[in-house]
Structure 1
Amino acid sequence: MSAEGGWGSMDQILEESKGRVVDDFPGELESDLELNEQSYEGLEQYAEDTVRDYEDTDQAYDIVALSKDLKSNVTDLIAYKELFGQKLDFLDSFRDELVGDENYEFADQYFEQNPHLDDTGLERQDIATINALREGLLYDEIMSMGEEGTWDTTNIGDSRIFDNVNDVADAVIADYFFRGGKGLRSTLGMVTSYGFEQSVEYETMMMGAMAETFHSSTLVQDDLMDGDTERRGRASANVMMNHIFGENGADIPITTGNVMESWTNDLNVHHQLDIPQKSKEAFAKVQDVVNRGQNEDILMGKDMENLTLDDYKHMSMGKTGFLYGGIVKMAAEHSMNNLDYTDEQRDRVNELLGEYTSNFNFAFQSSDDLLEVIGSNMDKSDSDIPNRKRTATALTTDRVLELQDEEIGGVPAEEYFRAFFSTSPEDDPTENIAAAEGIEFTERIFDNQIRRLMRDQEDVHRAQLEGWAEEASRAANDLQDEGFSEGAANLFGKAAEAMNERTH
């Protein structure tokens, strides 16, 4: 099996252009991955073979190819099978049972036999919605709702395929999750498992699905907070909800994100999974810390001179970093439990994994910040500068400008730069700057000038990023002393290096 080739039909199922699930999804799972209710060996073998194909890679950015391969053919499918697959099976059976006979007792019996379905939030009996998802038309169906004017929420039942606002929210969640993404979080979890056991178990893949689903829930809310209008090549959830419900839909992405997060808990307590208690606790901690990190991000509004890079690092570890660290810790705890590691060994492994994921996070986050400044054809939000966010790139630029003599309109560049991020209007020197430059000062001019000042320090930003990547690679190599394989350590190191490569 080739890492480049993957499973051809899975590529069709998860194609980029549409709602991504086509034709007979359960049939594809059964035939291509040899799955049934008792066995996931086909999927486990696929994940193991794919990681092995990449473990000796020399190219740092191959980690992204590996991640996309695993996400599209493993993590997405796991989440779909567990979150939506049961519902699909139910609807197929439900439709077959009701041909010419409205015997709704079947539905009651089905839910009695499968009580966990009641915990997923997917209880509606709406065959048209599921068919739209299967046929790759869900996004089109959602967006078509707003074409003839805003929904009158008192007449929601008149919509073509949805009965109420919660049906729409469920549909948006389904579409949002399967849009794609790199899948680095789930991949690092699977590489962790492979590094300790030279195999990838279904439980580890489920943990990856939990991480990806939770990450998608944060994106829904992030886009609303930042005012971003696009995510992974399509309209963001906030734009979709406004399109459908007008101003009444402005806050729905908040609760939609919450519902999506709740689905991850359904995976976490899955009764058929043998996930260690420490792994489950790690995921619960991730949810708590990441949400608190988002609070800190919202309030990163202190004046630039009073904000340090350490403040930023603390915030980013609470957001992106803790999710990376959480999935790696979950997978490691599962593997160490299987291998009967001592408490002392566990402590050392967790210490090294903490060093790796924290430095990987700083490299990831700073590369994300830098991409917006230097421009990129990658799928990257461009709202940081218009929203005046205090990013690692902004903070580093501010410190460098302190050491330089550059002036803009007779004003020190450092003062000009801080004016952009000022929370004290009375200290804002923009009118003096505008008069000195002889121009009509506009937000666009200000944005472009700030971007230029950041871009001028590109070498400094890259050096900082490379330092974090090197520290992450060092920790990955040290893991080999604790039973971690050389190939997995290499992939960990390449993942950190790729954060620098993606900015070139």
Structure 2
Amino acid sequence: MTTTPTRRLSAALDTGRSMLETALRDAVQRYLGPEMGRIADYHFGWADADGKATMTWGGKLVRPALALLSARAATGTAAQGIPAAVAVELVHNFSLLHDDIMDGDATRRGRATAWTVFGMPEAILAGDALVTAATAVLLDAEGADARSAARSLMTATQRMISGQAADVAFERRDDIVLADCLRMAGDKTGALLGCACSLGAELVGADQALVARLAAFGEHVGLAFQLVDDLLGIWGDPDSTGKQTGADLRARKKTLPVVAALNARQTDELSALYLRPEPLSERDVQRVADLVERAGGRDWAQDEAARQVAAAEECLAASGIADAVRSEFLEMAGFIVGRRF
């Protein structure tokens, strides 16, 4: 029986989950103290607020699955990539804990967010504990280049933080140019995804040319994902996204389609409407969406997402990795980017 891409992708994610869960739990138990561990257990869905074990574990584990795949790309085994997968997932969840606080989100994956249950200071500290644990996991790993992998992960983490800081700063600025916005999105979203695609390979001792190509692949995919996410934030179907159509416009976010439109010529009405301090009415939100589309923001974002995907494919084509592994990378990229709007 022929295995379809969908089945291969599902199998890859399931394999990543089964290989990762025990290692991730062990890392939390080993590197986090009891109090921070209790918050992490809740955040991951392993326990309720009282510490009682639960059967839920949210998240698709895309980043750790990519880390396992990258170890295979360097002719290692998926098992050799487990420390990289655990470390990437710890950093990702550090960012989620902090993002929930910054965004004031009360729910994640159908449950109350950690900061609403344990308090804001405690959730911040739990996030800090996760990112330090990620470094420890790699430094304690047996991989040929564990120290180099730890440095790469921390570099990606710093870029992610810088991107998030820029995103926050953009909310107070009216002079954003498209190059700034692309740089912010590349740091905020692309850096960690690029690291996930290369960290397993680096850990098992791959040459730097392969590590660089895998990282570039992931960064292009990450930027394509952000472009699609920004499109969904304006024109997405609420049944698919779980958010109101135009949600990002109501929040006055400086997303890529909006900035592309604001940087276009003859956008005086859009600038006056979107950058004014008064709240947008529902009629205003629809008008802004129309103006962004008329100024070319929607078409530019769709075309740029396609360009980023094509660039990612070129990185893999030049990497020389096995066809089967390359196909799995491309299927993962399609899963990450292939959302509808």
TM-score of the aligned structures, taking structure 2 as reference length: 0.81
Q: State the 1:500 CA deviation.
A: 4.3
1:229 to 106, 121, 127: 106
Q: State the 1:459 CA deviation.
A: 4.3
Equivalents in 2 of 1:227, 1:450: separation in Å? 25
SS at match of 1:299: helix
Alpha carbons of structure 1 residues 207 and 347: separation in structure 2 relative to 1, 3 Å: closer
SS at match of 1:479: coil
Gaps of 5+ in 1: 3-52, 85-116, 143-160, 162-170, 242-248, 404-413, 431-440
Aligned to 2:69: 191
Aligned to 1:408: none
Whether the aligned pair in 2 keeps the contact of 1:469 and 1:499 (CA below 8 Å) is no
Q: Which moved more, 1:181-190 or 1:74-83?
A: 74-83
Equivalents in 2 of 1:66, 1:313: separation in Å? 33
1:138 to 39, 42, 47: 47
Whether the aligned pair in 1 keeps the contact of 2:262 and 2:271 (CA below 8 Å) is yes
Equivalents in 1 of 2:165, 2:133: separation in Å? 22
Deviations 1:229-255 (A, max 9, x none): 3222222233334xxxxxxx3444322
Whether the aligned pair in 2 keeps the contact of 1:72 and 1:180 (CA below 8 Å) is no
Equivalents in 2 of 1:442, 1:462: separation in Å? 25
Q: State the 1:319 CA deviation.
A: 1.9
Aligned to 2:21: 76
1:182 to 57, 60, 71: 60
Whether the aligned pair in 1 keeps the contact of 2:145 and 2:202 (CA below 8 Å) is no
Whether the aligned pair in 1 keeps the contact of 2:221 and 2:333 (CA below 8 Å) is yes
Does residue 122 in structure 1 map to residue 4 in structure 2?
A: no
SS at match of 2:254: coil
Equivalents in 2 of 1:121, 1:250: separation in Å? 18
Does residue 415 in structure 1 map to residue 255 in structure 2?
A: no
Equivalents in 2 of 1:416, 1:310: separation in Å? 22
Alpha carbons of structure 1 residues 469 and 76: separation in structure 2 relative to 1, 3 Å: same
1:57-76 mapped onto 2 (5 Å cutoff): 58=5, 63=9, 65-66=10-11, 68-76=13-21
Does residue 447 in structure 1 map to residue 317 in structure 2?
A: no
**Equivalent position amino acid for 1:416 in 2:** E
Alpha carbons of structure 1 residues 219 and 386: separation in structure 2 relative to 1, 3 Å: farther
SS at match of 1:258: helix
Alpha carbons of structure 1 residues 252 and 293: separation in structure 2 relative to 1, 3 Å: same
Q: State the 1:421 CA deviation.
A: 4.3
**Equivalent position amino acid for 2:47 in 1:** L
**Equivalent position amino acid for 1:277 in 2:** R
Q: State the 1:469 CA deviation.
A: 0.7
1:452-463 mapped onto 2 (5 Å cutoff): 452-454=290-292, 458-463=298-303
Deviations 1:188-223 (A, max 9, x none): 211111122163124x12211111121111111112
Aligned to 2:85: 208
SS at match of 2:74: helix
2:183 to 298, 314, 318: 314
2:164 to 285, 288, 294: 294
2:130 to 260, 264, 267: 260
Aligned to 1:503: 340
Alpha carbons of structure 1 residues 300 and 194: separation in structure 2 relative to 1, 3 Å: same
Percent identity for Structure 1 against Structure 2: 19
Equivalents in 1 of 2:273, 2:20: separation in Å? 42
Alpha carbons of structure 1 residues 218 and 374: separation in structure 2 relative to 1, 3 Å: same
Alpha carbons of structure 1 residues 283 and 501: separation in structure 2 relative to 1, 3 Å: closer
Equivalents in 1 of 2:113, 2:60: separation in Å? 17
Alpha carbons of structure 1 residues 266 and 354: separation in structure 2 relative to 1, 3 Å: closer
Equivalents in 1 of 2:181, 2:283: separation in Å? 26
Whether the aligned pair in 1 keeps the contact of 2:163 and 2:186 (CA below 8 Å) is yes
Deviations 1:317-347 (A, max 9, x none): 2222111122333212223x2xxx6xxxx34
Equivalents in 2 of 1:284, 1:201: separation in Å? 22
Deviations 1:472-499 (A, max 9, x none): 111111112xxx1112222223333344
Equivalents in 2 of 1:447, 1:228: separation in Å? 22
**Equivalent position amino acid for 1:206 in 2:** P
Q: Please, what is the CA RMSD of the aligned residues?
A: 3.6
Whether the aligned pair in 1 keeps the contact of 2:189 and 2:223 (CA below 8 Å) is no
**Equivalent position amino acid for 2:89 in 1:** E
Whether the aligned pair in 2 keeps the contact of 1:303 and 1:421 (CA below 8 Å) is no
SS at match of 1:372: helix
Alpha carbons of structure 1 residues 311 and 271: separation in structure 2 relative to 1, 3 Å: closer
**Equivalent position amino acid for 1:268 in 2:** L
TM-score of the aligned structures, taking structure 1 as reference length: 0.57
Whether the aligned pair in 1 keeps the contact of 2:139 and 2:146 (CA below 8 Å) is no
Equivalents in 2 of 1:421, 1:486: separation in Å? 48
Aligned to 1:479: 319
**Equivalent position amino acid for 2:186 in 1:** M
Alpha carbons of structure 1 residues 236 and 71: separation in structure 2 relative to 1, 3 Å: farther
Deviations 1:76-115 (A, max 9, x none): 332013323xxxxxxxxxxxxxxxxxxxxxxxxxxxxxxx
**Equivalent position amino acid for 1:120 in 2:** L
